[in-house]
Amino acid sequence: MLTLTFLGVGSAFAKRNFQSNALIEAWSAGPQSQDAPDDTLLIDFGATGPLALHSLSKQPGYSYLNHGGRIHYPAVRSIFITHLHSDHIGGLEELAVMSMYQTADHPGGETYRPRIIAAEDVLADLWEHSLRGGLSARRGGRAELEDYFSVKSLDSAQPQGADGFTLLDRYTFAIFPVDHIRIHQAYDWPTYGLLMTDGRSGETVVYSSDTRFDRTGFEERMTSSRFNFHDVQLEDSPDSVHATLSELRTLPQDVRRKTILYHFGDHWDDQAYAFVADEFAGFAQPGHRYVLFD
Ligand SMILES: [Zn+2]
Ligand SMILES: [Zn+2]
């Protein structure tokens, strides 16, 4: 079984929800019969990630993430990074330091390093322009990204960006480029969505990451999937870097009905958006364990 739980479902600037980061859990049996999953993966870990993970770790069914009231960071085995906005990477400094600190006296001697996974063009800037400032300084010499993480770099130059990784030898995660910030043109600032596939049934689930409305890039994937998680911006605005709700309403009804919207602002519960529950699969709920594949 593969499950997804949002740590938060809010936009970068939301205050009533934590930012849109998600916990993937891979189970040989399932949460009914296991205290902890066999493998875990965070999709992004933003500035509110540590508070959100702490909050989730106190929820029933997630106690493996908690150790004596604190986040048990070694329970996070991998982190996939979609892109470099702070709502997607701002929690990594804490995760890196705490993973190392909490396992420093492991009997095996080796400190535990979680695996960080990203496209090569995201990874290069992740260290050089974001994490190096806080993480490179340490007693006795400079640290590199590899001192904190085992690094899996995905080939973003493959056609369709179809490189990826696997959990439990069954669930594959293929990246695809999405159209988020345009420095000069579409797709020129590295940002990636995920297509998750159950190798046993062939079923798929789409995780859009932060993206403009991009019918050409998404419709085929979103039509053939089991269901979809898609970025949404509630208000219309010209040239938005997120898919607006009005744009998403132009998708075919059968696609909308299996699309769960996330990354929204603080007014999602206004009466004006009540139609989302009928027209779409609704707004994503934080702390709810979605079963992606049985
Ligand atoms: Zn974002
Ligand atoms: Zn973004």
**CB–CB of 82/190 below 8 Å?**
no
What pLDDT does residue 162 have? 72
CA distance linking residue 12 with residue 188, whole number of Å: 21
What pLDDT does residue 109 have? 56
Note the ligand closest to the C-alpha atom of 263: 1
What pLDDT does residue 110 have? 64
- C-alpha of residue 255 to centroid of ligand 2, in Å: 23
**CB–CB of 84/130 below 8 Å?**
yes
Q: What is the mean pLDDT of residues 13-37?
A: 97
Angle at 58 between CA 32 and CA 77, to 5 degrees: 70
Report whether pLDDT(108) > 80.
no
- The average confidence (pLDDT) of the chain is 95
Beta-carbon contacts of 269 under 8 Å, excluding residues fewer than 6 positions away, are none
For the beta carbon of residue 53, count every other beta carbon within 10 angstroms. Answer: 27
What pLDDT does residue 160 have? 55
- C-alpha of residue 13 to centroid of ligand 1, in Å: 9
| Cα dist from 261 to 55, 129, 197, whole Å | 22, 30, 20
Domain extent listing, the chain: 2-293
For the beta carbon of residue 288, count every other beta carbon within 10 angstroms. Answer: 12
Q: Token pair 């006296």 is at which residue? A: 105
pLDDT in tens, 60-87: 999 999 999 999 999 999 999 999 999 9
**CB–CB of 283/265 below 8 Å?**
no
Task: Name which CATH class applies to 2-293.
Answer: alpha beta
- C-alpha of residue 33 to centroid of ligand 1, in Å: 34
CA distance linking residue 168 with residue 249, whole number of Å: 36
Report whether pLDDT(155) > 80.
yes
- C-alpha of residue 8 to centroid of ligand 1, in Å: 11
CA distance linking residue 261 with residue 67, whole number of Å: 32
